[in-house]
């Protein structure tokens, strides 16, 4: 047998995602290239690794055993690389972070210099909704999670990064009555929601329920970016985090509608399980945040102060 490490990596990803298309997207390869590598890998085994039923790909029981072995081999190869770097006096290893979708506008700025200064550190950052972020943390699949609302039923340590403010926003050219009420904004104007499980949606629903508004027209979209584009296009309005909307506000694509009781203010927190044995890389990252956090906020997010009086 002459299978390569590259083939093992591809087959492992296919087995994890149960899809050649999804595997090619995650690996940044073309679908034909992934299919060819799977075919070449399969030819080295007398037993099928995968099967297609109803146009859907499944990994056979034998394939699952090979995938487990592939994972062990890949982990050992990574360990060799990390040990080599450590022997040379360089910090090395993986740093795994799960981030709620809006956090993609925050977390990279707190990691950029750390990654630049530590070439031996490999970053794995998953951006998804709050429910999946907390599930990854609970299953010990990641070192840290970034959330704006702390979990109630998990024992975690926290590091506060910065505030998160949510405003009522509309298309810049939306015409409103000269005199309008909060009730008009929520009951007469179409509202655009994030999907269930999103912290932004929870905050928005909490505000609406607190004031007993009856929303008659609403849409649901699955990412903050999709909500932003829908609001810009004029489909409706929404309560959205200020972070991530800087350019749209600056370019007069969006505008903030002042509403009594808004903004809703939460805090971006980096959290990790109290039972977690942090790796040297994770500990080094916490030390880095302790030293650099305030400088990063001042350098990258001082523009937020421009909206404090809205």
**Which domains are seen in the chain, by residue range?**
5-84 (1.10.10.10), 91-162+267-307 (3.40.190.10), 164-265 (3.40.190.10)
Q: What is the pLDDT of residue 178?
A: 82
Q: What is the mean pLDDT of residues 145-159?
A: 94
CA–CA gap between residue 262 and residue 47 (Å, rounded): 62
Torsions phi, psi for 28 (to 5 deg)? 60, 45
The more confident residue out of 98 and 176 is 98
Taking 80 as the threshold, does the pLDDT of residue 83 lie above it?
Answer: no
Taking 80 as the threshold, does the pLDDT of residue 258 lie above it?
Answer: yes
Q: Which residues make beta-bridge pairs with 237?
A: 191
- Return mean pLDDT, the chain: 90
Q: What is the pLDDT of residue 192?
A: 95
Query: Using an 8 Å Cβ cutoff, are 107 and 97 in contact?
Result: yes
* Burial of residue 298 (number of CB atoms within 10 Å: 0-12, 13-18, 19+): exposed
Residue 121 tokens read as 């550190």
Give the HSE-up count for residue 228: Cα atoms under 13 Å, Cβ half-sphere.
19
pLDDT tens across 205-215, in order? 999 999 999 88
Taking 80 as the threshold, does the pLDDT of residue 97 lie above it?
Answer: yes
Give pTM, 2 decimals: 0.71
Q: What is the pLDDT of residue 90?
A: 66
Query: Using an 8 Å Cβ cutoff, are 260 and 310 in contact?
Result: no
């Amino acid at each position: 047998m002459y299978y390569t490490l590259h083939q093992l990596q591809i087959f492992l990803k296919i087995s994890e995602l149960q899809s050649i298309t999804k595997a090619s997207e995650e690996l940044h390869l073309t679908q034909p290239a992934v299919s060819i590598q799977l075919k070449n890998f399969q030819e080295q085994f007398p037993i099928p690794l995968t099967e297609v039923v109803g146009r859907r790909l499944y990994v056979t029981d034998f394939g699952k055993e090979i995938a487990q072995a592939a994972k062990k081999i890949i982990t050992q190869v990574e360990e060799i690389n990390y040990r080599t770097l450590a022997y040379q006096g360089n910090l090395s290893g993986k740093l795994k972070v799960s981030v709620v979708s809006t956090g993609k506008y925050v977390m990279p700025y707190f990691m950029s210099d750390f990654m630049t200064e530590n070439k031996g550190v490999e970053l794995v950052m998953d951006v998804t909704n709050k429910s999946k972020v907390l599930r990854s943390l609970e299953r010990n699949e990641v070192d840290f999670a970034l959330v704006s609302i702390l979990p109630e039923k998990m024992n975690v340590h926290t590091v506060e990064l910065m505030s998160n403010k949510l405003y009522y926003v509309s298309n810049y050219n939306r015409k409103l009555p000269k005199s309008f009420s909060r009730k008009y904004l929520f009951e007469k104007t179409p509202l655009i929601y994030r999907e269930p499980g999103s912290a932004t949606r929870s905050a928005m629903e909490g505000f609406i329920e607190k004031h007993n508004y009856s929303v008659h027209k609403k849409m649901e979209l699955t990412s903050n970016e999709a909500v932003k584009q829908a609001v810009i296009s004029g489909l409706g309005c929404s309560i959205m985090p200020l972070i991530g909307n800087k350019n749209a506000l600056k370019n007069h694509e969006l505008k903030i509608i002042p509403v009594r009781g808004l903004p809703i203010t939460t805090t971006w927190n980096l959290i990790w399980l109290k039972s977690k044995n942090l790796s040297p890389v994770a500990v080094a990252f916490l030390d880095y945040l302790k030293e650099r956090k305030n400088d990063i906020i001042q350098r990258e997010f001082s523009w937020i102060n421009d909206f404090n009086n809205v």
